[in-house]
Chains A and B, each alone.
Chain A
Amino acid sequence: MRLRNFQIYRGDNNEGTMEQYKTEVDQGMVVLDVIHRIQAEQAGDLAVRWNCKAGKCGSCSVEINGKPKLACMTRMNEYGADETISIRPLKAFPIMKDLVPEVSWNYEQNKRIAPFKPDPHKRNENGDYVMMQEDIDRVQEFRKCIECYLCQNVCHVLRDHNRKDAFVGPRFMIRLASLEMHPIDTEDRIPDIKDSYGSGMCNITRCCTDVCPEHIQITDNGIIPLKERVVDRYYDPVVKLFRWLFRKK
Chain B
Amino acid sequence: MTKITGGHITGFLASRRTDKWWFEPLWTGLGFLAFVIYTTWAMFQGDHYWWSAGQDGFGGYLSPFYSPLLFIKEGVSGSAPLDHAWFGSWPGWWPKLIPATPAILILAGPLSFRMTCYYYRKFYYRAYFMSPPACAVEGVPQKNYKGETMLLVFQNLHRYTLYIALGFVAILSYDGILSLFRGGDFGIGVGSIILIINPILLAGYAFGCHAFRHITGGSQDCFTCPNGEPTIRYKVWKGVSWLNGRHMFWAWASMLWVAFADIYVRMVASGQWVDYSTWSN
Q: Do A and B bind each other?
A: yes
Interface residues of A (CB under 8 A from B): 7, 9, 11-18, 63, 65-68, 83, 86, 88-91, 95, 130, 132, 134-135, 154, 156-157, 159-161, 163, 167, 180-183, 185, 198, 200-207, 210-211, 217, 219-220, 224-225, 227-232, 234-236
Please judge, given known A-B contacts A156-B132, A201-B146, A205-B131, whether A228 and B245 are in contact too, CB under 8 Å. no
Contact partners of B15 in chain A: CB under 8 A? 66
Q: Which of B6, B149, B222 contacts A9 (CB 8 A)?
A: B6
Give CA–CA (A18, B148) in the complex, Å: 37
Contact A154 B6 (CB under 8 A): no
Contact A203 B121 (CB under 8 A): yes
Give CA–CA (A205, B157) in the complex, Å: 18
A86, A157, A200, A219 — most chain B CB neighbours (10 Å) = A200
Contact A134 B224 (CB under 8 A): yes
0/1 interface trace, chain B 140-163, chain A, CB 8 Å (1 if under) = 011001111100110011110000
B interface: dominant SS:
loop
Contact partners of B224 in chain A: CB under 8 A? 132, 134-135
Contact A134 B153 (CB under 8 A): no
Interface Cβ pair total, 8 Å cutoff: 161
B13 to chain A, nearest CB (A): 11
Contact B135 A161 (CB under 8 A): no
Q: A157-B147, A229-B219 are in contact. List 9 more A-B contacts (CB 8 A).
A: A11-B5, A14-B5, A18-B7, A154-B135, A159-B138, A201-B146, A205-B132, A225-B214, A231-B157
Q: How many residues of B contact A (CB 8 A)?
A: 51
Give CA–CA (A89, B134) in the complex, Å: 19
Contact partners of B159 in chain A: CB under 8 A? 228, 231, 236
B122, B147, B149, B245 — most chain A CB neighbours (10 Å) = B147
Q: Which of A66, A135, A231 contacts B222 (CB 8 A)?
A: A135
Please judge, given known A-B contacts A11-B5, A89-B6, A160-B138, whether A180 and B214 are in contact too, CB under 8 Å. no
Contact B17 A16 (CB under 8 A): no
* Interface hits, B63-96 → A, CB 8 Å: none
Contact B136 A16 (CB under 8 A): no
